[in-house]
Chains A and B, each alone.
Chain A
Amino acid sequence: MIIKSYKTIKSTSLVAKKLVKKGTKPWTIVLAKEQTSGYGRKKTFWFSPKGGLYFSIILPKSNIEDLQTLTILAAFSIGKIIKESFSLEPFIKLPNDLYINQKKFCGILTENVILGKEVKSSVMGIGLNTNIEKFPDELKEKVTSLKIELGRKVDNEKVLKQILKGVKEQLKIISQ
């Protein structure tokens, strides 16, 4: 697994999709400290200031049904990690959003390129509000961060490694 780290980029998924076109290997991770145009489904803006954890995984070629399952299982993995590591009670809004106290703190977006019936490439983008101290007024009633909920900083690197391990294990299980 190779992690390509960036300071500030538009979006980790955009960079990952460009890398795929250049032939970058699966399980390459694009990680950014800050995204200027982070996005979710239907290109909705994902607030991504410094402090949060933003990364995209170039997934190995899988069939489309497995990718659907993987997106759901990634959400479960993240929920489990957050619950076990920080004793928080995350709620998974299936298939791909996670909430704490009715406020969103994590989103997952899997993007595939399909030719005929074949999945040519897949990128799973994950935005996790870890150490964000405050949100703009228009968001603060709807979103939260682990730091706000816990009152302390979390180790982004450690959380990242746990999530990557979880996603990899899940994919291994479902593609067996």
Chain B
Amino acid sequence: MLAGPLHGYGITQQVRALSDGVISLSPGTLYKALDRMLDDGWVQISGEEIVSGRLRRNYELTTAGRAVFAAEGQRRSKVEKAVRRIAHRPALGGSL
């Protein structure tokens, strides 16, 4: 949703593509998350239309949602760096 509004199936496709097929969101998981993010004001409905008898509802990130995303990205990046440092640390006694 950073690049632009997406509908439900579009979100699952994006998640699958970005995770190289590792993460596959079920409808229950996706809509539980969307429901919480709508309540928290991180996501909003940007538009609705009926396509082939189906409701096509698009979601987009709000300004607050982008701020939370950026902060969470920074936090995770710090954790990842710490894990890398630990992983590349010489083994105990290796320098002796």
Q: Do A and B bind each other?
A: no
Interface on B for A, CB 8 Å cutoff?
A: none
Interface on A for B, CB 8 Å cutoff?
A: none
